[in-house]
Amino acid sequence: MPERLLEHISQALLPAPPDILGVAVSGGGDSVALLSVLRDFCNIHDISLHAVTVDHGLRAASAAEAREVATLCQALNVPHDILVWSEWDGTGNLQNEARKARYRKIADWAGRLGITTICVGHTADDQAETVLMRLARSSGVDGLSAMQTSTLRDGINWVRPLLAVRREKLRNYLRLRDMSWSEDPSNTDEQFARIKARRVLEVLAPLGIDTDILCDVADHMQRSRKALDWQTFLAAKKVITIEAGAVVLDEALFELQPDEIQRRLLVRAINWVSGSSYPPRKAALSNVKQALRNGQASTLEGCHIRRIGGNIWIFREHKAVSFVETEIDMPWDGRWVLKSDLSGKVSHSLRLRALGPSGLEQCPDWRATGRPYVVLQSTPAVWDGQQLVAAPLAGFPQYWRAELNLDEDTFFAALLSH
């Protein structure tokens, strides 16, 4: 059994393993087994392994469980850190908010240590439960493809090397090694959707709908998703150009695409412009498509979508950035960096803000750029109080340049790696 688990790790991380690797350990059976197998793998391949535990502080026992993980890591000679989440304000879905916070905190921790790959302990049972929950939400190909073996998020490569392994096999491995683990009481609390799905799976098993079958469904959907992603990429290269941070679709070529490719192009464009990691809701996206058919403008996820001169422009909504202000050497709206070609020292009084209508009034040559007025309003500009200093994208550069953090090549590459 240990050898078979090592094979799963090897398939996920070889032939080019990182020099330093992170592992998220909650203290449950899945993550403790992952920690143990990874320790062996890293010893074989001379990889530096670092473990991390997030204490969400939602149960009285959570702090003690985190300390137990620390003790285990010390025994295994694996460096370990505990991160505490105390920011929940009681709003939103608890499990979802805790999950987002966990990823965010671990990504920050990894950044400080120079870690770019982190392993997490999702199993085949988690995969099956995810498929079932997404089926209940009428998910399409992307949703039913569930979890992938590796995912890029927050600049971190999150790897799930045990995604094909059943939960009980990992428990057996721990028993074989005489290792203990903690059981989270929420794993039996049926107020949570995942636990309901776990119970439903037990009922469906006599019909042949079990963990293995649902994992097969996820695998089939992942293959279909990759094919659709490739077709979306090919379509994007014909249909899309990037202009002043906006995604511009040739309307005639866009309309020739199948409905699913149109949907994917819109989703990717909106996500890229807004910086969102999650696709818009199905109903909201349908409203956008209906508005385009009717020749109307619409807004979604902080983006403005409208037909202009035979093209569909997807750009930042001015309202979404009208109050965004940063220092001159900081990224603006998470997307833009402005650089000066002046050799002298830049004044500390300068700030980055949206150009807006008042700024455009101070740009006499904005029409020469060929960029629509409404698009330019939400582009970055250099301000000194209420005085416009520079607007590089609106024909008023004044020795300043505006550059995207994620350029055009990154947009197209993301179509194949989201």
Q: Please give the full DSSP string across 2-20, using - where no structure is assigned.
A: HHHHHHHHHHHH-SS--SE
Q: Give the single-character DSSP code of 326.
A: E
In sequence order, the 6+-apart residues with CB closer than 8 A to the CB of 85 are 54, 55, 56, 57, 98, 101, 102, 105
- What is the distance between the alpha carbons of residues 391 and 341, in angstroms, rounded to a whole number? 14
Residues 6+ apart with CB under 8 A from 194: 95, 129, 133
CA distances (Å), origin 389, targets 259, 325, 380: 45, 15, 11
pLDDT of amino acid 274:
94
Q: Which residues of the chain have pLDDT under 50?
A: none
For 125, the enclosing helix (H) or strand (E) is helix 124-136
C-alpha span between 125 and 65 (Å, rounded): 23
Q: How many residues does the chain have?
A: 418
Q: What's the pLDDT at 70? A: 96
Answer whether 149's CB lies under 8 Å from 226's CB.
no
Predicted local confidence at residue 88, as pLDDT: 63
Q: Report the distance separating Cα 203 and Cα 199, nearest Å.
A: 7
DSSP-derived secondary structure letter, 393? G
> In 3-state terms, what secondary structure has residue 402?
strand
Output phi, psi for 247, to 5 deg: -95, 125
d(C-alpha 20, C-alpha 311), whole Å: 47
Q: What pLDDT is attached to residue 98?
A: 79
Predicted model pTM = 0.82
Write down the pLDDT at residue 62. 84
Which two structure tokens, joined as six digits, stand for 142? 């992307």
Measure the CA–CA gap between 300 and 397, rounded to whole angstroms: 30
Domains of the chain: which residue ranges?
A: 2-217, 244-316, 321-405
Q: CB of 376 within 8 A of CB of 366?
A: yes
Q: What is the pLDDT of residue 33?
A: 97
Would you call 209 exposed, middle or buried from its count of C-beta atoms within 10 A (0-12, 13-18, 19+)?
A: middle
Instruction: Fold for 244-316, please state it.
Output: 3.30.465
Strands (E), 218-335: 240-243, 246-250, 298-300, 303-308, 311-316, 326-327
CA–CA separation, 126 vs 137, rounded Å? 17
Cis amide prior to 15 (ω within 30 degrees): yes
Alpha helices in 159-258 (DSSP H): 167-176, 193-204, 211-239, 251-255
Q: What is the CATH number of domain 2-217?
A: 3.40.50.620
